[in-house]
Amino acid sequence: MNTTRCDRTPAWRALQTLFDTAGRAFDVREAFAADPKRFGAFSQSAPHIFADLSKNLIDEATQTLLLDLAQQSGLQSHREAMFAGEKINNTEHRAVMHWLLRNPPLALMNKGREDIQNVANELTEVHATLDAMLAYAEVVRADAAITDVVNIGIGGSDLGPQMAVLALDEYVTPGKRFHFVSNVDGHELAAVLKKVKVESTLFLIASKTFTTIETMTNAHSAKAWFDAKGGTNVARHFAALTTNVAAANAFGISTTFGFWDWVGGRYSVWSAIGLPLAMAIGAQGFREFLAGAHDMDEHFRTAPLAQNLPVRLGLLDVWYRNFHKFTSRSVAPYHCALKRYPAYLQQLEMESNGKQVDAHGEALPYGTSPVIWGEPGTNGQHAYFQMLHQGTDVVPVEFVAVKKAKHSLPGHHTLLLANVLAQAQALMLGKADAGGHKNFPGNRPSSFLLLDELSPTTLGALIALQEHRVFVSGSLWGINSFDQWGVELGKVLAKEVQARLGSGDATGLDGSTAGLLAKLRT
């Protein structure tokens, strides 16, 4: 792998000059006036997704230099290393192969992927596990006596399946309810346990490591509830989704579906962690979800950089973060079923790219992950869009719109689509007002992702697109996007504080924590 940190390339310096001379003052309205072909030049078709990038603060010269930046940083070499199964997660000495989970079996693959031979054994294991998991999902779907599936997991073991089950609600088999318990706050599990019955509930304990304290605490409480209510058949009512099958067995769970250390938690919805989704939409639906993602993998792996949607999005992210110095991106899915999509993307991008050192541990002189936030439209319009239109900070917005609705209520969908178009338009065009209060500055950038419908296939493609755009920015920044050391300190301290909450011992504590500890104990 031959990579160079973005700030050590000639293109980086050229981009800084371009930004200082023309980029800072770029006006997208003028760019449209000067170039009637702008929409075509700055839009990109990718599998199952059309992207309009033309409302961004970018022109041909900037795009060319950003593509040079990608070349000079060795993006292609890094991408090839990932797809060849090299251990690019250097701090954990692991390969990064979530893409392999959606790869067709070797026998069904087209020729021309010699590098796949490096991971042929892993691919065989992937399909053996996938077949077993989907067969189990179908058994549970056919079992009318199981009415409630409770997924206990957190982070990647919760956000992916939860987001996808909600998003694909229209495809969910009637007769089964899906619950997601992630928080160690007992209110969450208690509320679910009030609604379910021992004989009709299946608990899925989802944890890559099978050590995460929140998940283990909830799993033990669920098991204690099951025992107290007279439950006996643990094999029927508990299954574990984990890379640590031995720990699941030690917990007393014999029905297990495994995955591998080369699947990061936030990239694991395609693995056994996706079992709730498979149970919800069926084996065929889950295979379509994988196929949509695989189509995007192939696009990312093979399309020239200039026509590669994850690359174009990732380059825009670098342009905004490091030259315009925008610190956040708002995501606005105009589909109410995508309500957990922003939360899902928060983990995907912020846990991957929220880093202050490069892959060699050297401090970075530039910003990395932006803050990702948002709500489905149109709700966000009546909450924080005020700030997006008239606030002092510029926040790029990424809209998602879906052409066809799955309901037949007259008028609603046209109104929804009118709103998403109007918001993007208003951000860009603005409106002058001499009085000031009604002045919209405009020139506020947005991207627009358009799906034909929200289906397993298109959702798979959308999520894979987001994974790869995070790879692109992380790669240029020279960071390891696949570790997450930043979550460790809090975990260690929580254990220590837990003991102090019991004993009241404040020796050596900082003044604030000691004061709060005393308050909590009285």
**Cα 491 to Cα 153, 157, 487, 495, 497, distances in angstroms:** 16, 17, 7, 7, 10
- Of the candidates 229, 431, 491, 496, the residue annotated as catalytic is 491
Give the shortest CB-10-to-ligand F6P separation in angstroms: 36
Nearer to ligand F6P, 3 or 215 (CB): 215
Cβ burial of 139 (10 Å; 0-12, 13-18, 19+) is: exposed
The C-alpha atoms of residue 401 and residue 334 are separated, in whole angstroms, by 5
Q: Using CB under 6 A as the criterion, which residues of the chain lie in contact with ligand F6P when the complex forms?
A: 154-157, 207-209, 212, 215, 265-266, 351, 484, 487
Q: How far is CA 384 from the centre of its chain?
A: 22
- Of the candidates 87, 195, 220, 382, the residue annotated as catalytic is 382
Nearer to ligand F6P, 209 or 390 (CB): 209
Does residue 335 carry a catalytic annotation? no
Does residue 324 carry a catalytic annotation? no
Give the shortest CB-271-to-ligand F6P separation in angstroms: 11
Give the shortest CB-161-to-ligand F6P separation in angstroms: 11
Give the shortest CB-488-to-ligand F6P separation in angstroms: 8
Give the shortest CB-311-to-ligand F6P separation in angstroms: 25
In the numeric block, which tokens belong to residue 52?
């309009």
Give the shortest CB-135-to-ligand F6P separation in angstroms: 23
Pairing assessment for the beta strands 446-451 and 49-52 based on DSSP bridges: antiparallel
User: How far separated are the first and last CA of the chain, in Å rounded?
Assistant: 58
**Sign, Cα dihedral of 5, 11, 14, 20:** negative
Nearer to ligand F6P, 54 or 212 (CB): 212
Does residue 382 carry a catalytic annotation? yes
Largest CA distance in the chain: 74
Nearer to ligand F6P, 15 or 350 (CB): 350
- Of the candidates 214, 349, 351, 398, the residue annotated as catalytic is 351
Buried b (16+ CB within 10 A) or exposed e, 396-435: bbbbbbbeebeeeeeeebeebbeebeebbebbbebeeeee
Nearer to ligand F6P, 207 or 473 (CB): 207
**Residues in contact with 522: Cβ distance below 8 Å, sequence separation at least 6, in sequence order:** none
Q: Are 149 and 139 in contact (CB under 8 A)?
A: no
Picking from 128, 176, 182, 193, the residue whose alpha carbon sits closest to that of residue 155 is: 182
Nearer to ligand F6P, 70 or 278 (CB): 278
In the numeric block, which tokens belong to residue 156?
């990647």
Give the shortest CB-484-to-ligand F6P separation in angstroms: 5
250: helix, strand or coil: helix
Picking from 238, 265, 239, the residue whose alpha carbon sits closest to that of residue 159 is: 265
Q: What are phi and psi of 50, to 5 degrees?
A: -110, 135
Q: Are 269 and 277 in contact (CB under 8 A)?
A: yes
The C-alpha atoms of residue 273 and residue 305 are separated, in whole angstroms, by 32
Give the shortest CB-87-to-ligand F6P separation in angstroms: 18
Nearer to ligand F6P, 154 or 293 (CB): 154
Nearer to ligand F6P, 179 or 208 (CB): 208
- Give the active site residues: 351, 382, 491
